[in-house]
Structures are given as structure tokens and as C-alpha cells.
Amino acid sequence: MMDQHSLSAPGSFNPCIVIPFYNHAESIPVVVRGLKLLGLHCYLVNDGSDASCDAILTDLSNQEASWLQVIRYQLNQGKGKAVMTGVEAAERDGYTHVAQIDADGQHRVQDLIQLLQLAERNPHYMITGYGEFDASVPRSRLYGRYITHVWVWINTLSLQVRDSMCGLRVYPIAPTLAIWRKFKLGTRMSFDIEILVRLCWRGVRIINVRVPVTYPMDGVSHFKVLRDNLQISHAHARLFVGMLLRLPVLLWHNLRRWFSASPPLPAKAQ
């Protein structure tokens, strides 16, 4: 069991949870029930879901009003926008870190606890899941992820990021918002990739935690093959140009990282 008092204490580590949500009616009550055990405030950002889903969120927020806050906007703007809407709300309310978990039930709450514990010990680091997929993942999506990983390794000139698309993460709010407010990031599926690359460019170190991933429990995926792959490809191209412009600085950062002490990497989540 997690030390809830430690994880909710004010100071250099004061975390909350953000769930980006779009039409996952069946899975969201299960996800919310699991997260309640953590004793942390949660922002559930409704990214323009349909009326039936909004009604479910209203019921959940009424039942869990002490810790669950629903943020709504009418038009779907993308997962990245939903995440950062939650991060900005967390900053306004005095939190230092945001734990992101997807609404489709593909991640386990106990793995999020492990990420939070690592973030508490390493508050200046970005903590991210490294997906271990079961047989439920479509092969095309799995191969596409590997191609993206290779481009991320190229654009960071490192292997720091093991999985650039995993939706289980703990963000340090200050550097994340600094990037969001300075650069024009993609607001949909490319956001997960670009924010990690830019955090690396900023000198924020990454800790990867291998976590099991089950494809969405409700069978709903909002990945649009043509639209999202085009946006991701465009993001990789922009990042490649940015990498070339930052080449000397990135090489220096990587040399410093290689020759300095790093925190031990965690074992695979059980």
C-alpha cells in the first residue's frame, strides 16, 4: 500500500492525477474506483464527449465530489490539449506533479503508485511507463510504436525514452508548462511524443518503468490511422529539424548525463 500521507504532503512533491477523457463510458467508472484508493485529487478532463458519457461523468463527480473534479469543453480538441488543461488546473491549485493515466483501463493503478513513488524520490525527473503489451494490441499499432521510438531516439540523440507513447506518466509541472507555453505543440496523439523529446532537450532526465498494458477494456480506440499518423510524422520532421539546430547542446547534455551518477532504474512492475 502506498504511503498516502507522503504523496499528498505539500512541498517539493505535491501530486495530483489527470485523466484525459473522450467517450470511454464503460471503463471510466472502473478507473475512477481504482484511483480513489490513492487519496489524491483528480482532474478528469472531458474532451467533448457525447451526452451519455457526460451524464456518467456527472454522476461520478457527484459521488466523488471530495476528490474528483470534472473539467469540460464542448468540442473535441485532442488528448494533448486535455492533458495540459489538467496540468494548468493543477498548477493553479498548487500541485507540483501530475500523474497521467488514460481513461480506457489499459493501465493498472498499482503501476501508477510505483511511478509516483519514484517521482517523490526524484522530483526533478520525468517518470514514464514503458509498455509491455499482451496479445490484445493490434500488430499495426505495435509496429508503428517502434518506428516512433526510433525517431525519438534520433531526435534526442539518446535512448533515454524507452516508450514515447505510453499514457502512464508523472510530469513535473514547472518544466512541462514552460515548454507548453513557449512552443506550439500538437494537441492530439503527437503530444505524448513531442513533450518527452522537448523535456529531454531541456535537460530533464527520464526514468522508464516497464509496465504491463492491456488494450482498452471497452474496445474503444480513438487513434485515427491517417490523421494521427500524418500528425505524428509531421511532429517527427519538426523535431528532427529542432535536433539539428540544437546538436552541440544536446551532445554536451548527453555527455554530462553519461558521466554523472543516475538514479537506479526500477525493476519491471509486478
Asked if the structure places residue 266 within a domain, the reply is no
For residue 177, how many other CB atoms are within 10 A of its CB? 17
Asked if the structure places residue 263 within a domain, the reply is no
User: Residue 23: which CATH number?
Assistant: 3.90.550.10
Give the pLDDT confidence score for residue 40 in this predicted structure. 97
- Tell me which of 76 and 90 has the higher pLDDT: 90
For residue 44, how many other CB atoms are within 10 A of its CB? 25
Q: Which three cell numbers stand for residue 229?
A: 499518423
Three-state SS for 95? coil
User: How many structural domains comprise the chain?
Assistant: 1
Q: What is the mean pLDDT of the chain?
A: 85
Give the pLDDT confidence score for residue 122 in this predicted structure. 95
Asked if the structure places residue 2 within a domain, the reply is no
CA-wise closest residue to 169 among 115, 107, 120, 228? 115
Three-state SS for 244? helix
Percent with pLDDT over 70 in the chain: 81
Asked if the structure places residue 28 within a domain, the reply is yes
Give the pLDDT confidence score for residue 233 in this predicted structure. 82
- Tell me which of 238 and 98 has the higher pLDDT: 98
Average pLDDT over residues 209-234: 70
When mean pLDDT is compared across 8-22, 73-87, 156-170, 223-237, the lowest value belongs to 223-237
- Tell me which of 133 and 61 has the higher pLDDT: 61
Q: Count Cα atoms within 13 angstroms, Cβ side, for 10.
A: 2
Residue 149: pLDDT band with limits 50, 70, 90: confident
Task: Render pLDDT for 175-185 as a digit per residue (tens, 0 to 9).
Answer: 999 999 999 89
Three-state SS for 224? coil
Asked if the structure places residue 64 within a domain, the reply is yes
Q: In whole angstroms, what is the distance from residue 137 CA to residue 87 CA?
A: 29
CA-wise closest residue to 150 among 128, 170, 165, 129? 165
Average pLDDT over residues 142-155: 81
* pLDDT at residue 202 is higher than 60: yes
Domain assignment of residue 136, given as a range = 9-258
Residue 114: pLDDT band with limits 50, 70, 90: very high
> Which letter, b or e, does each residue of 201-230 get, where b requires 16 or more Cβ atoms within 10 Å of its Cβ?
beebbbbbbbbbbebbeeeeebeeeeebbe
Asked if the structure places residue 264 within a domain, the reply is no
* pLDDT at residue 92 is higher than 90: yes
Asked if the structure places residue 204 within a domain, the reply is yes
Asked if the structure places residue 269 within a domain, the reply is no
Q: In whole angstroms, what is the distance from residue 97 CA to residue 120 CA?
A: 9
Give the pLDDT confidence score for residue 132 in this predicted structure. 79
When mean pLDDT is compared across 33-37, 96-100, 133-137, 168-172, the lowest value belongs to 133-137
Pairing outcome for strands 15-21 and 68-73 = unpaired
